[in-house]
Amino acid sequence: MFLRVATVAPLLSLLGLVVFSEARPQSYAVWAADSGIARGQGNGLLPSGLPTVSYEHGEFQASFWGLRLLYELTGNKTYFDYIQAGVDNIVFPNGTIHGDYNFTAFSQDPVRTGPTFIYLFQQTGESKYKTAADTFRSQLNGQPRTAQGQFWHKLMYFNQGWLDGIYMGEVFYTAYTNAFDANNDTAWADITSQFKLMFDNTLQNATAPNNTGLMYRLSLVSLFIDLCSSQLPARYIDGYDFSHTAIWASPDRGHSPEVWIRAQGWYLMALVDVLEMAPANSGALKTTLLHNLNVLAPKIRDAADPTSGVWWLVITQARRALNYFESSGAAMYIYALLKAVRLGYVEDADGSIVAAMKKAYNYAVENWVVSNSDGTMSWKNTVHVGSLDTTGDFNYYVSQAVDLDDLKGLAAFLLASLEFEKL
């Protein structure tokens, strides 16, 4: 049972008329979720039918978020069952995580599905979900780190801390510590440090070209420290590939060359989601996150394109030919900042942050939501990937494929809609 956007809406908006109230479906959140489910998205399986342990599925099922929130909001068990079936596709009855999961690759990406394991354990009491969560927790215990202590994004990305990894790994780290290890002060301090190091090492400052005050994609800062450190563990030097890493790392702080919309989005979502979970006894975690969020929130507001209200794919190269407005990052910003204001993490005394997010949301709905003839909606303009395997420069980012119904964008739109509909 899908609700359709009235087909007259685009015509009327061409005439400049405001028709949102009658043209919109009752809930874009529900529409986005039901459309993803109808397409079988985020269910732990690849289109080929093989199991996959994917952060995109984690974002959609999203334990505390997405489908789970919709389940709590509507009481519709379809959402819960979909989450559970998705996890059962990647966790054997004995708790082994299977599919394409590779423990020794030490990638933070699959760990994003972990909060869902914890949620299902709490809901069902079935030990396989706890066993699966324990596996990710032990992965983090062995996760390679820079000399400063930042988790590498993956073993193969030598010494690289990625903004993306904070959403993939640290949301789970927090959920796990909260659920099973709440008095582990070392863990709370470690989570705090993951956020802080990433922030300090990648934030643009006034001396940066085209400064936006936002965060570069990733940091290799500790490379320098590692090479100078007298207490250097052997593995930090073994396999060190200067020619590869030097391609994009800045000579001073080691950051990547551009502010990429989605990386900043992952980090912002992690800030608000972890703030929501962090208990009182989590040491400096809350104050650290609140500080970072309050630095970033007005910068995100100000970095929006003044006409459309949304953001360029490469934020540091506004209006440059081939740059475009990207939809997953925008949805992430809307979700994170509306939630930040709603929960009082960011004070929005003049209402300018909420106003900016509303403007962006309206643009998203008008331009990126497509009503399909089968009653589902589609979501446009999400960039497929943005890796740093190569140069990580402007030309690299703008040459990446743009997807329809990419789950990274659709799931973020579901989250953004949940927040927008609470306004």
Distance in angstroms (rounded) separating the CA atoms of residues 173 and 210: 34
- CA neighbor of 380 nearest in space, from 413, 416, 340: 413
User: Can you say whether the dihedral through the CA atoms of 274, 279, 285, 288 is positive or negative?
Assistant: positive
Contact string 100-119 vs ligand NAG (x = CB under 6 A): --x-xx--------------
Distance in angstroms (rounded) separating the CA atoms of residues 400 and 6: 33
Q: Cβ closer to ligand NAG: 6 or 318?
A: 318
Question: Which of 183-191, 238-246, 286-294, 327-335 is the region at the interface with ligand NAG (rule: CB under 6 A)?
Answer: 183-191
Q: What tokens were used for 319?
A: 């209006």
Q: Which of residues 73-92 bind ligand NAG (CB under 6 A)?
A: 76, 78, 92
**50 contributes a contact to ligand NAG by CB under 6 A:** no
Q: How many residues bind ligand NAG (CB under 6 A)?
A: 32
Q: Which of residues 387-416 bind ligand NAG (CB under 6 A)?
A: none
Q: Where are the beta strands (DSSP E) in 186-243?
A: 218-219
- Evaluate whether 402 touches 381 at the Cβ level (below 8 Å): yes
Task: DSSP letter for 314, please.
Answer: B
Name the maximum alpha-carbon separation found in the chain. Answer: 69
Question: Which of 128-136, 163-171, 179-187, 400-408 is the region at the interface with ligand NAG (rule: CB under 6 A)?
Answer: 179-187
What residues does 219 pair with on adjacent strands? Answer: 161, 255
Distance in angstroms (rounded) separating the CA atoms of residues 287 and 345: 10
Q: Which of residues 322-381 bind ligand NAG (CB under 6 A)?
A: none
Burial tier of 128 (Cβ tally within 10 Å: 0-12, 13-18, 19+): buried
**210 contributes a contact to ligand NAG by CB under 6 A:** yes
Distance in angstroms (rounded) separating the CA atoms of residues 29 and 317: 31
Q: Where are the beta strands (DSSP E) in 323-410?
A: 369-371, 377-379, 382-383, 402-403
The minimum distance between CB 137 and ligand NAG, in angstroms, equals 8
- Evaluate whether 262 touches 408 at the Cβ level (below 8 Å): yes
**187 contributes a contact to ligand NAG by CB under 6 A:** yes
Q: Rule CB under 6 A: choose which of 7, 94, 231, 373 binds ligand NAG.
A: 94
Q: Which of residues 272-331 bind ligand NAG (CB under 6 A)?
A: 316-320
Q: Rule CB under 6 A: choose which of 26, 205, 373, 399 binds ligand NAG.
A: 205
Question: Which of 7-15, 99-107, 290-298, 328-336 is the region at the interface with ligand NAG (rule: CB under 6 A)?
Answer: 99-107
**190 contributes a contact to ligand NAG by CB under 6 A:** yes
Q: Which of residues 29-48 bind ligand NAG (CB under 6 A)?
A: 34, 37
Q: Which of residues 132-161 bind ligand NAG (CB under 6 A)?
A: 141, 155-156
**209 contributes a contact to ligand NAG by CB under 6 A:** yes
**207 contributes a contact to ligand NAG by CB under 6 A:** yes
Q: Cβ closer to ligand NAG: 223 or 338?
A: 223
Q: Per residue in 274-301, is it b (16+ CB within 10 Å) or e — as a string?
A: bbebbeeebbebbebbbebbeebbbbbb
The minimum distance between CB 329 and ligand NAG, in angstroms, equals 17
Q: Cβ closer to ligand NAG: 376 or 382?
A: 376
**Which stretches of the chain bind ligand NAG, using CB under 6 A?**
1, 34, 37, 76, 78, 92, 94, 96, 102, 104-105, 141, 155-156, 181, 184, 186-187, 190, 205, 207-210, 250, 252-253, 316-320
